Structure 1
């Protein structure tokens, strides 16, 4: 099965290990193409745990936590992260979802956690035996991280957390949460810190939310939830910087997910257009069909190059333009993905709307990408701000 564009992988953005990884991913997807049918239609929480076990067993979650190369710096290889997310989203959206949230929840611990935190959580994340969440958003602050209102008040033994988080991926199934809270070392962005909070912590409640594409999403309510001092990740007051670093790096991987959805949509549209007959011949031979397919091909080339450039910049620690480039990559890839999937569905006609069909699933799934990890409107504000 061919998922990736080999001409893209030959560019200097990638090296031999990435090309080998792409081959292994294509082989894995081909061997596991029917795997999603084993959990589709069932309880989404059970599906997420089943998927985490599979991804851990087959070694993909190792990449979610760290770069497996000897002597590599802390944290994952983001070109590998993007290749994995593109392949997994091509196969099934929940595969990509589980991989991405495991990686997001591991990042602050892997980069800034204590030796005890790393030993407690990272092996379990890699094996898939424990699920994590990254709890940033709140009902009133939304994408404004500096506006976080969840308070972490110091006590004699540690911290007492009071407040709410909203729209937290894995919120109601996670075994632990990486939580951004206000500890008050300074005003606004300067008074935030990260904590790792076990799901079984007392006075921590979840409120599940149903979305148009099945996901274990929920709010979190901290009603005087107490955690020890050892729950603090990194330095107090550095939480805003850790959160921005996480989002700037992982936004490029959302673009990779968009690519995976769109490659699947284009492959399905190509196969359909060649097999579907019209009064004038195959659907593929119609001028309007060729125009739609050409537009898809242009998008895939352009978005792939943006993802490759930004992922390379992350791995090379080229921080001077990373914020702008990660936002450009996410907004172009995710906004364009909506159009690609819509055009593919249009080619199927009524058949593309059948519940459970590939095009119907892609149409619902791709819509989420323009909102999470910073909505398109937020990305455009970042891009515009960088032009000053």
Structure 2
């Protein structure tokens, strides 16, 4: 897919920084833990500001979703650890930037942009994953504020984050209509947590809320309007999850093309085998189709397209790109053979990391349901 010159320059800028500055720091981090030196470097280099459409002279203007996808795809092809550290800062802080009171934005966003404040998006619960409207974390009225009671699970950057965007139920028995979003400090009294050991390139944990106090200034958006805050955030970030997996698939395919072009077998090279060549062709075609869907969804968001179109495009992009990346990486492992399963091999690393994106921010089957819902809505809308 051909990109405009300004977007190509932006990708080149991000790639250069990733190679020279981020890779050494990513390699020094502890697996499953927040890498604060890496985040501070991202802040110093302007990468975190670029998450929201800001920054270098080469950056596209007014293209937050497109720029986010370009960043994630570019960096993912080099380091999944660096990519997820960057993306989670955006996911955790975007609801604050989008819907926070001015004082709340001033309290948290400068630190997020500098890399000094670690942000986290806390939506999922043990009993509310794909069915996000089934949230049970209770926000009980307490004077002019609330007390949070309950648990969150499989939360990225938990329990190490400095600020959490937390979604809690302020009105019982109302599903999506009774959820409110709050900005909750990581050191709030009554908030505890623990790490979880998951097959994922980033830290994930569990949070427990034992009477955590939040006030009216901590509300993001409107009381009982938190579900809209969550969905607007996901509409922005779902295409970029697809972009993340595009970067992984591109790295896997590039390594596999090099491998089959030089690996001697059957009196020639593996690439001489028609079956192998056809696998390459199918993978490249699928990758290119996924890239078109991802950037079409990002550009629809940036253009201010109707909400239903944005939601459907985001779901299509995440569904097709994540499923395609999984299939591509799997086939690349097959073409490499046993060497790709050795601990530390690029394909072994990508094979582990490519699985989680098919689940988080809405599993594949959820995306299919969203697409079907929007198709039927379009049919009945005059």
Q: In the alignment, which residue of structure 2 is the partner of 1:17?
A: 6
Q: In the alignment, which residue of structure 1 is the partner of 2:380?
A: none
1:380 to 342, 356, 368: 368
Deviations 1:149-176 (A, max 9, x none): 1111221252100111111000111111
Q: In the alignment, which residue of structure 1 is the partner of 2:44?
A: 57
> Structure 1 length as normaliser, TM-score?
0.91
RMSD over aligned CA atoms reads 2.1
The Cα shift of 1:311 comes to 0.3
Q: CA 1:52/1:34 → structure 2, altered by over 3 Å: closer, same or farther? A: closer
Q: In the alignment, which residue of structure 2 is the partner of 1:259?
A: 246
2:28 to 35, 39, 44: 39
**After superposition, where does 1:123-142 map in structure 2 within 5 Å?**
123-142=110-129
Deviations 1:9-58 (A, max 9, x none): 14xxxxx5323212212333443585266326x35325x21221121121
The Cα shift of 1:67 comes to 3.5
Q: CA 1:179/1:248 → structure 2, altered by over 3 Å: closer, same or farther? A: same
Whether 1:282 and 2:264 are equivalent positions in the alignment is no
The Cα shift of 1:66 comes to 4.5
2:222 to 199, 223, 235: 235
Runs of 4+ in 1 over 4 A off after TM superposition: none
Report the 3-state secondary structure (helix = DSSP H, G, I; strand = E; otherwise coil) of the residue aligned with 1:207. Answer: strand
Q: In the alignment, which residue of structure 2 is the partner of 1:103?
A: 90
> Structure 2 length as normaliser, TM-score?
0.92
Whether 1:308 and 2:265 are equivalent positions in the alignment is no
Say if 1:201 and 1:227, in contact at 8 Å, map to a contact too: no
Q: In the alignment, which residue of structure 2 is the partner of 1:199?
A: 186
Q: CA 1:120/1:66 → structure 2, altered by over 3 Å: closer, same or farther? A: farther
Q: CA 1:37/1:357 → structure 2, altered by over 3 Å: closer, same or farther? A: farther
Say if 1:185 and 1:236, in contact at 8 Å, map to a contact too: no
Say if 1:65 and 1:126, in contact at 8 Å, map to a contact too: no
Distance 1:230 1:327 in 2: 32
**After superposition, where does 1:110-259 map in structure 2 within 5 Å?**
110-184=97-171, 187-259=174-246
Q: In the alignment, which residue of structure 2 is the partner of 1:13?
A: none
Say if 1:303 and 1:332, in contact at 8 Å, map to a contact too: yes
Q: CA 1:293/1:258 → structure 2, altered by over 3 Å: closer, same or farther? A: same
Report the 3-state secondary structure (helix = DSSP H, G, I; strand = E; otherwise coil) of the residue aligned with 2:127. Answer: coil
Distance 2:371 2:216 in 1: 38
**After superposition, where does 1:319-334 map in structure 2 within 5 Å?**
319=306, 320-334=308-322
Say if 1:75 and 1:110, in contact at 8 Å, map to a contact too: no
Distance 1:298 1:38 in 2: 32
The Cα shift of 1:69 comes to 8.8
Say if 1:64 and 1:76, in contact at 8 Å, map to a contact too: no
Distance 2:135 2:333 in 1: 39
User: Which deviates further from its counterpart, 49-58 or 80-89?
Assistant: 49-58
Deviations 1:171-220 (A, max 9, x none): 11111100011112982211111101111111111132101234311111
Q: In the alignment, which residue of structure 1 is the partner of 2:379?
A: none
Q: CA 1:374/1:75 → structure 2, altered by over 3 Å: closer, same or farther? A: farther
1:8 to 2, 5, 20: 2
Report the 3-state secondary structure (helix = DSSP H, G, I; strand = E; otherwise coil) of the residue aligned with 2:120. Answer: strand
Distance 2:104 2:67 in 1: 24
